[in-house]
Amino acid sequence: MIEISLADAKELPAEIPLGFAALEGGTILGGAGIAPGLRREIAARADADGFRGKLDETASLCVPWEGVERRVLLAGAGPQSRFGGESLRRACGALAHAAKRRFEALAFDPADRVQEAAEGMMLAAYGFNEYKKAEPGRLKGAKLLVRRSSERRRAEKALERAKLSCEAVFLARDLGNRAPSDKPPRALAQFAKSLEGAGVSVEVLGPQEMSSLGMGALLGVSRGSAQPCAFVHLSYRGPGAKRKIGLLGKGITFDSGGLSLKPPAGMETMKRDMAGAAAVLAVFKVLPRLKPKIEVHGFCAFSYNMPGPDALKPGDVVRAMNGKTIEVLNTDAEGRLVLADALSYAVREKMDALIDVATLTGAAVTALGPKVGVAMGTDRALLRGLLEASRRAGEILCEFPLVADYKEWIQSSVADLCNMGRVRGEGGTVIGGLFLEEFAGGLPWVHLDIAGPSWSSSGGSLAAQGATGAIVRTLIEFLCP
């Protein structure tokens, strides 16, 4: 993570490049101290160089500034009609990418949006280097300019919030990028245990404890693996807490599809199938420092899904913790099985609301592409709160309906439910949600399917190729508005 700090604009050394975001059409954001003539000259020079202010576009130029030549960097923020916090994040991310091989330091005028500017630069600077040397880069830090002393305290709080948010995202990215054999279920449970302290308590259940609780769905998924599954319950109680929120994460640390084996190409990124659980762990890493005045519980179900000698077979029936039986028609629909037991466990803990996060369905990616997650649930207020939090965080969620008429598609002739829709190839994401609803115990509940945005195949201004840490910032915004 590059070091971000605040600086007084009047004391900025001349040798540090100065950055601004610019809208399409040439309008420069911030820069209250720039003389109108100089502002026009910067815009004209950038335009002559072909800079148009489009998202992810940058320009570098030297201009006369208070008697010296100063390097000015511009980053496109897109059209005025669509400008918002995420536009500024992307502009700052593009600026950090453009600067990292040329400059050791960078100053940026955040135009009163310190949190978004800092997040953009830090998210862009992330790299996963557990298995190789870090890529060389000169950029070590950035300064965000504060024009008035009266703004400094507010800017300090915004910068601290940005740092905590990015710290959480980076943990989720690190866990998602780690090789699958380096994160067996017990290892991630042990990592969760390391988060204990400072207001967080952690309980880890092994197969014996899960068996005594009747968690047959999770145990069934793990049968094909030589590595046992693990279940983690984290809890945090904020000062004056009156409400209990449960966050549940799917933690399939590698998904082969089981006996319903995926094709080889489909397995290449299946180390990311624990992105939901990674998001929950990431939130708990920073929760005690954010100090929300609520009680938050995390429930993570960790397992490999492998085709070993005792693997679940299509046609097998498992019994979830709430007593419902499930006919397993496809062993590659395992995420909903482990979440069935996680939800049942959370209901027993008497939560006021439940939010589960999972890379659940390829159908969500087919419908919405790689940058949009799905939200569906039973409580309008909870849904609205999460959708609003995602807007503030700059993460896109699209609400899907829980179509009651489709419930008959998950009825089994030999069990209470089946884990796949009987009308194949239709409504897969909604079917996944309807299945999970059966285990939410009638509580206010929302399901977030992040199969698309949890992974970036090509990278971008805010995320390198690989795990993105999707939905972490949304959950933080929701819990700590």
Residues with a known catalytic role? 262, 336
Half-sphere exposure (Cβ direction) of 79: Cα atoms closer than 13 Å: 2
The DSSP symbol for 150 reads G
> Token digits for 222?
């793990």
Angle, helices 380-393 vs 472-479, to 10°: value is: 120
Of 141, 127, 120, 33, nearest to 77 by C-alpha is: 120
- Report CA dihedral (326, 328, 331, 334) to the nearest 10 degrees: -10
Q: Is the Cα dihedral 305, 308, 310, 311 positive or negative?
A: positive
Residues 6+ apart with CB under 8 A from 290: 161, 164, 476, 479, 480
Surface-to-core class of residue 13, CB atoms within 10 Å of its CB (0-12 exposed, 13-18 middle, 19+ buried): exposed
> Token digits for 206?
């092994």
Q: Coil, strand or helix: which one is 258?
A: coil
The DSSP symbol for 28 reads B
Q: 370 vs 237, 453, 457, CA distance in Å?
A: 35, 5, 9
CB atoms within 10 A of CB 424: 10
Using the CB atoms, write b or e for 125-155: b if 16+ within 10 Å. Answer: bbebeeeeeeeebebeebbbbbbeeeeeeeb
Q: Coil, strand or helix: which one is 321?
A: coil
Q: 475 vs 67, 211, 247, 328, CA distance in Å?
A: 48, 31, 9, 31
